[in-house]
Amino acid sequence: MAFSTVHFLCFFLLFLGLPAARVTNASVDPCNAFSDGSGDLSVIPIYAKCSPFAADHGGSLLDTVVKMSSNDPHRLNYLTSLVAGKPNPNSVPIGSGNQLLHTGNYVVRAKLGTPPQLMFMVLDTSSDAAWAPCTGCSGCPSAATAEVNPNSSSTFSSLSCSTAQCAQARGLTCPSSTTASPSPAACSFNHTYGGGSAFSAALVEDTLALSSDEIPGFAFGCITAVTSGGASIPPQGLLGLGRGPMSLMTQTTSLYSGVFSYCLPSFRSFYFSGSLKLGRAGQPGSIKTTPLLKNPHRPSLYYVNLTGVSVGRTRVPVDPKYLGFDPNTGAGTIVDSGTVITRFVQPVYEAIRDEFRKQVKGPFSTLGAFDTCFTADNADNAAPKITLHMTGLDLTLPMENSLIHSSAGSLSCLSMASAPNNVDSVLNVIANLQQQNLRILFDVPNSRIGIAYENCN
């Protein structure tokens, strides 16, 4: 008997420790092998086959990452604006500036409303709120999109200007208190961004379902119109995991205690997903941690104290002022799920790059954001490992997190970069490519971040 696709898939799932009984001749769908009924949420690369946004980008994985990382300057601009603007810490926007642009690297399944409506929402640790497109949204992305239909949910309601949630959000448009009105006005938003990108939203609440948990009265932005830049907005919305008053973790403190972790799968994982664990249950019992620092001007960002970087056995010489945490300027190092490749301020990156080049035989070439690409038959053996030193924790990056290879040849690149020349950034950003196949624990009550090696694929 011929060895069929079903037989192969059953064998492969058994190899991964998954029940082959899930695969039948009637339905050969590896994406269905990962359900969210176990208490974990699947974390899916947005271009993976199990994502509704999957697309054939062509070329190699290196080409795909180069294309994705070309949008990082928008992200760095947004993060820099957060730490430089010193906004009111008790006031957060539904969506702010380039936060809406190019953050779609990983999505999670979420359900909104009663009965539940399935959405694939972008996971973002540097966002303070959630938002989703609503039915009839003008200018919202049309490709592979879903919209929340308020008329189909028995638990949907708009929030008025008199609610506490509305007072916590910037950019609201409400009538003056002297305006006579038979009922409280709806809390709505109009945002305009550099480059002409703008959207309008209403603050609403509905039941949010994550895995087997239901969260009634969850407040989020219901997008009604995008006047420009719509192609760059994640089609099914965003789920913010920051520490602001309207973030998922703040709205669910009684349920999840301000604790979550994720394990991001490699961009190579076209069929398989990582996981998002919410709450204390199921978190690693033993994990190395580093203190979580807090910027009072922008408390939602997850700062850590990066004290140095080693390339191989050599600790690179870096002036401490480029690494130190400064709440007045926002300088320091954050862990961010929305940036693709780790970015250092220029003096730090150049010290790392120069030491890396000393230990690897050139010549070197440039490809996109990567300025240290080289050809080697076995690049993993030729290249030194990179270690990020943090208070109480030394993270030696797996080779796949510091080197990215072309599947079409022997070209490999150091998968880090400096902040773009047009971004006046004081931030070092540990990005999602460097977090892949690691369990990252965010424990806000205990002011710590934990990191452990884990196969997320």
Task: Catalogue the active-site residues.
Answer: 124, 336
Q: Count Cβ atoms below 10 Å from residue 356 Cβ, excluding itself.
A: 23
DSSP 274-300: EEEEESSTT--SS-EEEEPB--TTSTT
Per-residue 3-state assignment (H helix, E strand, C coil) for 409-440: CCEEEECEEECCCCCCCCEEEECHHHHCCEEE
Neighbours of 37 (CB within 10 A): 7
Report how far residue 394's alpha carbon sits from residue 287's, in angstroms, rounded to the nearest whole number: 12
Please give the biggest Cα pair distance in the chain: 81
Tokens of 361: 């035989």
Q: What are phi and psi of 241, to 5 degrees?
A: -115, 20
Residue 437 Rama label (left phi>0; alpha psi -120 to 50; beta): left
| CA angle (426 as vertex; 424, 428 as ends), nearest 5 | 120
Using the 8-state DSSP alphabet, how is residue 11 labeled? H
